[in-house]
Amino acid sequence: MPDLHGPVAGVAGPAGAPHYTSDQQHWVSGTVYLDGPQFRALLQSVDGSAAARAIVMHEFGHLVGLAHVPAQDQLMYESNIGQRGFGPGDKEGLRQLGLGPCFTG
């Protein structure tokens, strides 16, 4: 995975179903890629399990449709600088995603 270079330990995103208008767009699948060697090293460090969990949570946020945010105290900030869980803004974004309509076919 070319995007997993340097300090990037994970990459993720949703995949949409075919649609004609933006109102019809909806996510039906997605992919998460994690850098195995980086995770192996991370898990051997102090606080490594919590840091690895935060990376996975961040990538799952992308998987369900969250984007990066400018607030450094949120897990969806573009770089992990010590966040270990979703912040209030992240949770609000997840709440708003959950309000979206369900598509049945």
**Torsion-angle region of residue 79: left (phi > 0), alpha (psi -120 to 50) or beta?**
beta
What pLDDT, on the 0 to 100 scale, is given for residue 36? 92
Domain positions in the chain: 12-17+27-98
Give the model's pLDDT for residue 54.
Answer: 96
The tens place of each residue's pLDDT in the chain, 105 residues long, gives 788 888 888 989 888 777 788 777 777 788 999 999 999 999 999 999 999 999 999 999 999 889 999 999 999 999 988 999 999 999 999 999 888 777 665
Give the pLDDT of residue 32. 92
- What does the alpha-carbon distance between residue 18 and residue 56 come to, in Å, rounded to a whole number? 27
